[in-house]
Amino acid sequence: MATIVLVPGGYHGGWYFAPIINRLREAGHDVHAVTLSGLGLSGSSCPGSINLDTHIADLTGLIESEKLSDIILCGHSYAGMVIAGAASMLPETVRTLVFVDALVPADGDSVWSMWDPETRHRLIDAATDGFRSVPPEGLDARTRPHPLATWLQPIRLSAQAYAAKHKIYAWCNGQTTSPYDSAYSPFHATYQRLKSDAEWMTHTLNCGHDIIGEAPELVLALLLEVAAIE
């Protein structure tokens, strides 16, 4: 049995992983899906005080309160920032890091610094109240406005941030209308960089960025494969 913690990307809550959670549990795994602060279904409130540190604390708080160890920590998209931050703070608890079409930051990076100018403008234009960015059109109705400060705050990482025994990057190669599948997104460049790094295992997934919405079976297969790695 493996312990798997799933962290969704921007705008989404833990509900995003519902199509695969039960199937992972049926395979014998202990699965936790995180909903980060400000992104819950109970309301649309998103205090301006929520930043990247808040979201990292959400994840480390779960790990510590549930006394989790030997974790497979999986983050999608923006959540690459969150799982890297948590692994930096609690490296002894993480066995495997899985980045699914996700940001892989270095110390001092922010979501803002890793995106192209066009995407930055789009994110700011969507922050109509000045502190949260409304979801793009076409996303699931359960998505919520995302705290803008989480994208602006630089991350602080220790030398242990990527000390996990296994590090995996999965790039979604599908071309859709999503801006996250555009040539300007950082995901393909990250995949190309890590593909030549002997410390990383890389995968190509034949779908667009909204992987659970489009092809949940690909994430399920990836995580089952990862869980079997000693």
With bands split at pLDDT 50, 70 and 90, how would you rate the model's confidence at 121? confident
172-186: average pLDDT: 68
With bands split at pLDDT 50, 70 and 90, how would you rate the model's confidence at 110? very high
Q: Range with the lowest mean pLDDT among 4-8, 108-112, 123-127, 167-171?
A: 123-127
Residue 23 has pLDDT above 80, yes or no: yes
pLDDT at 113: 94
Contact criterion met (CB below 8 Å) for 46 and 147: yes
> CA 14, CA 125: separation in Å to the nearest integer?
26
Task: Transcribe the chain into DSSP letters.
Answer: --EEEEE--TT--GGGGHHHHHHHHHTT-EEEE---TT--TT-----TT--HHHHHHHHHHHHHHTT--SEEEEEETTHHHHHHHHHHH-GGGEEEEEEES---PPTT--HHHHS-HHHHHHHHHT-TTSSEEPPPTTS-TT--PEETHHHHSPP---TTTT--SEEEEEEE----S-GGGSTTSSHHHHHHHHHT-TT-EEEEESS-S-HHHH-HHHHHHHHHHHHT--
Residue 27 has pLDDT above 90, yes or no: yes
pTM for the full predicted model: 0.94
> CA 223, CA 20: separation in Å to the nearest integer?
10
Mean per-residue pLDDT over the chain, rounded:
93
Ordered by where they begin, the domains of the chain are 3-227 (3.40.50.1820)
Per-residue pLDDT tens over the stretch 29-82: 999 999 999 999 875 566 778 999 999 999 999 999 999 999 999 999 999 999
Tell me the Cα Rg of the chain: 16
